[in-house]
Structure 1
């Protein structure tokens, strides 16, 4: 005689909830993965593959240090009259204009008259805070923002949130590696983009919550302290 399962047994009662929970977890992970992939594609669509000169001039120019040729490109824009003054944000505290002039010998006259150095910014959010202070002190209503193409989306999020009344004109710097090979063929570039995408999503979420009245990370928390680090180039910045 064959034995039929007892529907009232403990296993029969436990199995359905476990199966439902497993299906829910799998479905949630699948939806999360698809949403993240779609967001990553949308993020990539914002990145320019070539450098395009700003369509108009601005009151000032702000360059966020950290990537190759950002400062030199910003100096070229200043020399071409795209802005009245330039703020180099994220300069290491022990460096000064002479450190920059050694790397940009053709720009010494501009460095002496029209360039301001921000040594207090330690990340993109504090870059935005210092740019806001500088623009308000100068009475500027429009800024050209210079940073790497992969960093521009997050920079615009932070700068727009910090100074909503100021017009921002992006100038995305395209590095040699980006020009020389597709990003998907380089593991290092792919990892950089994934990391930047995660930071961009985090910045977007924090700004949206702050706009809704829920600021989980007050601005003062960005002013990092700690022991001095070894001397770095004048334009070193982790952006």
Structure 2
């Protein structure tokens, strides 16, 4: 019995490590050409995300944009200033701020609500490369009828990897596995309770 448990543990660890290597390769892969979509959603929480999403909006890759997970009391002018951008005419009509989300699940629910209320069927999703798989899985669960187009941003931690980067990647990989295997439980219901 002990031999069987040891074999199972070894297979589990090898499977986890093999999947982790694939996950890291996917996390650092640059985006291909981004087609036009109905909307853009950017998930806050990391460097370069809002600027990358604004570049897409300015290039008319979509007409509307949601910035999900914005802290209470922060407005569009604050976000633009932090991204080193100026307030362009028309931004106020094209960019919505979501203040309700505090987690990736919350981002997904906020995105689904915004997309449905605006009749959007395709979304460019902007977040960090290491966060993209989980973001797509959560948004896809909340908004299964939409086409999701990933546009990953590579934060500085991915350019100069360290032990902290490895911990971040392994944590994000494990969280993604929990989503894939449906082990996030009722967390979807708690976000906006």
Whether TM-score is above 0.5 comes out as yes
How far apart in 1 are the matches of 2:151 and 2:124? 7
How far apart in 2 are the matches of 1:218 and 1:101? 31
Match of 1:83 in 2: 62
> 2:42 aligned with 1:63, yes or no?
yes
**Deviation by residue 1:172-203 (Cα, 9 ceiling, x = unmatched):** 11123423x4x4xx111111100100111011
Q: What is the deviation of 1:68?
A: 0.4
SS of the equivalent of 2:181 reads helix
SS of the equivalent of 1:62 reads strand
> 2:100 aligned with 1:120, yes or no?
yes
Q: What is the deviation of 1:96?
A: 1.5
Match of 2:148 in 1: 168
TM-score by length of 1: 0.74
Match of 1:190 in 2: 166
- Which of structures 1 and 2 has the bigger CA Rg? 1
Match of 2:139 in 1: 159
Q: Which runs of 5+ in 1 are unaligned?
A: 1-20, 210-214, 225-239
How far apart in 1 are the matches of 2:77 and 2:137? 32
Q: Once superposed, what is the RMSD of the aligned Cα atoms?
A: 1.9
